[in-house]
Structure 1
């Protein structure tokens, strides 16, 4: 049992492990990481910093009032224009179209109104460069301007300015005062002029509207004149070129003997087309007669269409057929030798010879027509070859002819187009339609446009709120101290076992610690209850109480906690392990002649060792003071004597509480935390730096110390108005039975509070309004004292 407490220094210790008997966290307390914006917390910050916010708002209110008084009165006059669609679009092809009422035209018109040319035109028309009132009035908040408006002194010295400088100043003031704007989904433009003089504002607005219209007319007229001159020059040039190109074309056609029809084809080309048609007919005719000749050569001349369709031959065939019929009829009566029969046979033979002769004649006629078709075909082919040779020669000549003719056509097209545009320019120059119309003239306003007192105050107060928020953010950002128990749990990853309220003086602390009905006693009873349920086996038998830095109240916490456990009948021993700056003997009002250091050095005999366990006025509580301050406290604490002493004390006492030195800069507390079953860190509100506390907790974990939790000490509910979860710590809540009790609950510190001055708040829950204001003033005074 004693061996596990022995070992070397803090740096050689093993990694942290969880004690099976007591379910303390190893330092990884799961705290919910709230990444979303907590509106309730923001509201709490506003309550906490209400005085700072109030001061900023008051300053903003005063600045708004001051601005509304000092700022010059500005009047706004508005002249309204409507962009008109032109009645004719002239020279559209060369991008000289009148402005339309689309969005681009509206934006262009606005930019033109804001242009320097309009400013110079208005300044010249109204002679503003010589208007001293216009030049002197200024809307700025400069010192000279304020004195000039208030007392009539100061301002710009106009007598020293030249004419050009006065004009430049007038143009600049005009540009600053004018602000054109468009009406949504309309072609209407408002020319807004803001100036300290209402009459001058209206005059400038109307003059600007007229200047815009006149400028549009001048630009259109100038454009038409420039276009007419340009087109006239172009017409003369193109006309000369057209004439020269026509002469060149005619000269070339005459020289090459080229005759072209209206459709740009030569006579040769037309003849070739005619010959091609005739040749096609001749070929068709030759093919037709060729087939008939072949039929005749095959002995089928009688089947020719000419033979079949001939009426004479058909009559002859009919006669032959009749004679043959008569011959067959008489053959039944007469013999072929009879004269009648011979006469019929002779007639039939003669007619057949006539028929054959007629058929031969038709065949000769067909052959003659065939030969004629052949001859015609050959002649046409020969003629066509001659014409094709001529056409090829013509095509060679026509290439240059075509080039010259295309040039003529191009110049003729340009000439006709320019003539048409020249006529359009002549018509368009007489139109001169306006691009805008004044639909509402500006009138001198009676009520000033600015400053508006309500708006000025609203804006300055909003800016003050932003400035206050930024200031609070910077303050909170630079504040690296713990303000709430939640911050302790989040930063140190250990649970909060108790919250001990802050008190003002040591005398009040003594009374509150002794009173069982005080807020301090109630807070410690809650702490005792939390410790009883902190582990699976109940309250740890050995507890180490430490803190990050001195003066955080750990000694008082250790004493009061020991007294509360002893009040339950628990045999309790309070050991003052701070052998550098011991404090428990002062709290109990005893001496520190012998104690823990004397036991560990072995300089006491058995009789003197028994005196180390001092009786106290609290039943069940023994005290072991630190003893003589040694030169090497750490060496005594890491020795085997210390481990054996703790083991022996565990057999004699039910609970041992070690009052340890601070962790930062010392190794005493980490060494003692290895010997204790649980270690409690005391963290004071708005005192210890967060990084220091985190470093202290990590040192205890690295030596396998079991961090049971933390105690949030010196908690001031007034400082944490921004944290609504802890409003139950208000002091009135701890008054029992309706009695006042202590005016303010507090907690003692070790010796001094490191220069921090705390103040109490006297509050009656049912007090008068006067008492509430008095308490608010006291809270403000206390906070200022703490910041000092």
Structure 2
């Protein structure tokens, strides 16, 4: 019996979505868009560690046990410590400064050199000889070292033993400088506390003696070397002095001063004369320029306008007298006429004064010319003298080249001679002073307790190593883990969203019975899946929905039935089709007839109306598989599937298809290409990542529109390390009113 007509039924799921045309070009599915998460997700790492906590705990405990056992089996080692003070330089007694002098750069190099000498093979050999460690195997036996009895002769065996003793001494010696000071600890470790102190003190004492020996040897060698060098430099100095004096006398080179310390040049007599003449020439040139300027002005300007004339006292006096007579003449001109004798006399006096003034001005102009001529003559005379001195200086310089070479050689030899002589005196004084820049501050004492092994330290190291190895193995195990046990595993490893997680039923509980119990977490999980399907596409639940899985027995038939029943219970008409033409099982769950069904429709032997069967669930109809065809893939590859779905969509709100498994068969990809949406069922912990990827790849090749994944048989008890999915119901009533409380927790 087909579903109700749209006009006669209530509002259903179809009214909540746009119509889906069966047979249209399918929409390819893509991996879900992952939300941006920080590169370091502490919560995810914590969940991973909790997941593998047993492995981490086992490795941690094993490391502790191994560490404790190794510590108890170790031979106790005693460490003795002698303290030395190493100064940068010995006390400078000869200079009156007894404090060590050093610089930061040279100081670091010096101290590093001293530390290297303390660890040197030379010092270890000296200690071995001083303590007599090479005479027998007793020292090696005390250090728990097997003596090497190699060599055919006693000499060869002694040489091998000495080499082994020196190697043991170097291996157990530790030099520890004290930061920011001149102190250094000489540390030696051995199984015997007295032996450790004895060898530590021996290293310190022999280092001090070796330093004194090196200083004495270097001082003696330096004295011998300096004596030879002083004799050679002295002979060279005397020879150079004789050559310099002879050359100066031959070339008549006379210097008034000693050679300059910086430039090495000396002031000669000719150069001094040239400097004096050049200074006089500069003054004469300045005087000539000044006289020439005054003469040129006097020769071109009016004589009475010259500053020399105007400033002349006689001219100024005549000007005053003339002004007075002229004033008197002008005053009397008002009374007398110009021809009057007194007026004629005044006019004659004025003319006389003018003549005197002109005569004085002429003399001044003539004196300016004479002054210019004298200045010019003096300048020319000095210039000639300077030119001659220049030639003398140039000649002296050409003759002084060899003189300067000899002078520089003489100065160099004298400086070298003085320096060598002073150094020789200092070494002679220092050689008799037994001062040493290395001193023993604290002698080593036999330790009262062993330094190794340290039980707390070894346990701590074992714990850290064990914890680190455990975490490392957890990361490796997680990286190699191919299981898909939780929704988070599925989304992280497959890149497909999980629409629902179906809990694992308890032993003996059948899926049909759990679905009938609406209060069970099993049924509530499918209700949540139905809600997720409504939001899986912009149009709501697809009109045609295929439910498949990677392999059999993953719960796809139960999921198909549960989804169909959930959609039917919200008021929509639903058609459930069993499309597994190879191993059908839905008719057994629904106790329906399987004599005719989908195979008859696809073969053209029956219509949809003839094979639709009602179920005990309202609004839910069923189409069984029907007789098993010989070649299911041929039936599913034709156009009858799309025609069937188009017809079913005209009568039902939703068509749910229980499909066959994907792997190994071509049926599921063929059906997926014809429906509006595909729901992929995955058994938690039962399907490997490779299998799931292969199935999804085949669906993608079939242009399936994958809505998401349903994780079935999800054991929430064994996944308590980070994931918890539970559905709890509490029904209660107060009076006549009941209340339903539903809670879902997910983490």
Q: Is the CA contact (8 Å cut-off) linking 2:26 and 2:705 kept in structure 1?
A: no
More displaced stretch, 212-221 vs 494-503: 494-503
- Does 1:132 find its partner at 2:137? yes
Paired residues for 1:408-447 under 5 Å: 408-447=410-449
How far is 1:672 from its partner? Answer: 2.4
- TM-score normalised to the size of structure 1? 0.67
- Does 1:218 find its partner at 2:208? no
- Does 1:39 find its partner at 2:42? yes
What are the superposed Cα offsets for residues 178-213 of structure 1, whole Å, 9 maximum, x if unpaired? 111122222211122222221111111111111222
Alignment partner, residue 454 of structure 2? 452
Distance in 1 of aligned mates of 2:270 and 2:671: 129
How far is 1:499 from its partner? Answer: 0.9
How far is 1:555 from its partner? Answer: 1.5
Q: Is the CA contact (8 Å cut-off) linking 1:84 and 1:100 kept in structure 2?
A: no
Alignment partner, residue 121 of structure 1? 126
Distance in 2 of aligned mates of 1:552 and 1:674: 22
Q: Give secondary structure in 2 for the equivalent of 1:239.
A: helix
Q: In the alignment, which of 552, 555, 566 is matched to residue 553 of structure 1?
A: 555
Alignment partner, residue 520 of structure 1? 522
Alignment partner, residue 306 of structure 1? none
Q: Give secondary structure in 1 for the equivalent of 2:439.
A: strand
Q: Relative to 1, partners in 2 of residues 1:250 and 1:493: Cα closer, same or farther, differing over 3 Å?
A: closer
Q: In the alignment, which of 541, 544, 548 is matched to residue 542 of structure 1?
A: 544
What are the superposed Cα offsets for residues 155-192 of structure 1, whole Å, 9 maximum, x if unpaired? 44559771111111111111111111122222211122
Alignment partner, residue 598 of structure 1? 600
- TM-score normalised to the size of structure 2? 0.71
What are the superposed Cα offsets for residues 219-274 of structure 1, whole Å, 9 maximum, x if unpaired? 22122112111111001111111222233344445666777667577788889999
Paired residues for 1:90-105 under 5 Å: 102-105=107-110
Distance in 2 of aligned mates of 1:613 and 1:482: 37
Alignment partner, residue 180 of structure 1? 175
Alignment partner, residue 758 of structure 1? none
More displaced stretch, 699-708 vs 457-466: 699-708
How far is 1:535 from its partner? Answer: 5.5
Alignment partner, residue 86 of structure 1? 89
Q: Relative to 1, partners in 2 of residues 1:381 and 1:651: Cα closer, same or farther, differing over 3 Å?
A: closer
Q: Relative to 1, partners in 2 of residues 1:552 and 1:734: Cα closer, same or farther, differing over 3 Å?
A: farther
- Does 1:191 find its partner at 2:147? no
Q: Is the CA contact (8 Å cut-off) linking 1:245 and 1:407 kept in structure 2?
A: yes
Distance in 2 of aligned mates of 1:45 and 1:276: 99
- Does 1:668 find its partner at 2:667? yes
Alignment partner, residue 679 of structure 1? 678
Alignment partner, residue 366 of structure 1? none
Alignment partner, residue 370 of structure 2? none
How far is 1:652 from its partner? Answer: 3.9
Q: Give secondary structure in 2 for the equivalent of 1:443.
A: coil
Q: In the alignment, which of 243, 249, 252 is matched to residue 248 of structure 1?
A: 243
Q: Give secondary structure in 1 for the equivalent of 2:611.
A: coil
- Does 1:68 find its partner at 2:79? no
Q: In the alignment, which of 464, 471, 474 is matched to residue 472 of structure 1?
A: 474
Q: Relative to 1, partners in 2 of residues 1:399 and 1:35: Cα closer, same or farther, differing over 3 Å?
A: closer
Distance in 2 of aligned mates of 1:640 and 1:629: 19
Q: Give secondary structure in 2 for the equivalent of 1:449.
A: coil
Distance in 2 of aligned mates of 1:636 and 1:272: 128
Paired residues for 1:203-602 under 5 Å: 203-252=198-247, 398-490=400-492, 494-503=496-505, 505=507, 509=511, 511-532=513-534, 534=536, 539-566=541-568, 571-588=573-590, 592-602=594-604
Q: Is the CA contact (8 Å cut-off) linking 1:91 and 1:421 kept in structure 2?
A: no
Distance in 1 of aligned mates of 2:582 and 2:598: 12
Q: Relative to 1, partners in 2 of residues 1:131 and 1:638: Cα closer, same or farther, differing over 3 Å?
A: same
Q: Is the CA contact (8 Å cut-off) linking 2:22 and 2:675 kept in structure 1?
A: no
How far is 1:623 from its partner? Answer: 3.2
Q: Give secondary structure in 2 for the equivalent of 1:162.
A: helix
Distance in 1 of aligned mates of 2:278 and 2:566: 136
Q: Give secondary structure in 2 for the equivalent of 1:122.
A: helix
Distance in 2 of aligned mates of 1:538 and 1:282: 117
Q: Relative to 1, partners in 2 of residues 1:193 and 1:510: Cα closer, same or farther, differing over 3 Å?
A: farther
Q: Is the CA contact (8 Å cut-off) linking 1:279 and 1:377 kept in structure 2?
A: yes
Distance in 2 of aligned mates of 1:270 and 1:86: 51
Q: In the alignment, which of 98, 112, 116 is matched to residue 111 of structure 1?
A: 116
Distance in 2 of aligned mates of 1:588 and 1:41: 43
Alignment partner, residue 627 of structure 2? 628
Alignment partner, residue 657 of structure 1? 656
Alignment partner, residue 648 of structure 1? 647
Distance in 2 of aligned mates of 1:383 and 1:462: 99
What are the superposed Cα offsets for residues 469-497 of structure 1, whole Å, 9 maximum, x if unpaired? 22111211112332321343455555433
How far is 1:649 from its partner? Answer: 2.6
What are the superposed Cα offsets for residues 735-773 of structure 1, whole Å, 9 maximum, x if unpaired? 999xxxxxxxxxxxxxxxxxxxxxxxxxxxxxxxxxxxx
Q: Give secondary structure in 2 for the equivalent of 1:209.
A: helix
How far is 1:407 from its partner? Answer: 3.1
| Unmatched tracts of structure 2, length 5 or more | 1-17, 259-265, 287-377, 733-747
What are the superposed Cα offsets for residues 494-551 of structure 1, whole Å, 9 maximum, x if unpaired? 5433211124656655654554443322322332344455566654443211123333
How far is 1:664 from its partner? Answer: 3.8
Q: Is the CA contact (8 Å cut-off) linking 1:31 and 1:490 kept in structure 2?
A: no
Q: Give secondary structure in 2 for the equivalent of 1:629.
A: coil
Q: Give secondary structure in 1 for the equivalent of 2:449.
A: coil
Q: Is the CA contact (8 Å cut-off) linking 1:27 and 1:493 kept in structure 2?
A: no
How far is 1:576 from its partner? Answer: 1.1
Q: Is the CA contact (8 Å cut-off) linking 2:88 and 2:437 kept in structure 1?
A: yes
What are the superposed Cα offsets for residues 58-114 of structure 1, whole Å, 9 maximum, x if unpaired? 10111111111112211111111122353545999xxxx987784433333222211
Q: Relative to 1, partners in 2 of residues 1:157 and 1:566: Cα closer, same or farther, differing over 3 Å?
A: same
Alignment partner, residue 709 of structure 2? 710
More displaced stretch, 164-173 vs 209-218: 209-218
Q: In the alignment, which of 39, 42, 52 is matched to residue 49 of structure 1?
A: 52
Q: Give secondary structure in 2 for the equivalent of 1:67.
A: helix
Q: Give secondary structure in 1 for the equivalent of 2:134.
A: helix
How far is 1:446 from its partner? Answer: 1.2
> Over aligned residues, Cα RMSD in angstroms?
4.5
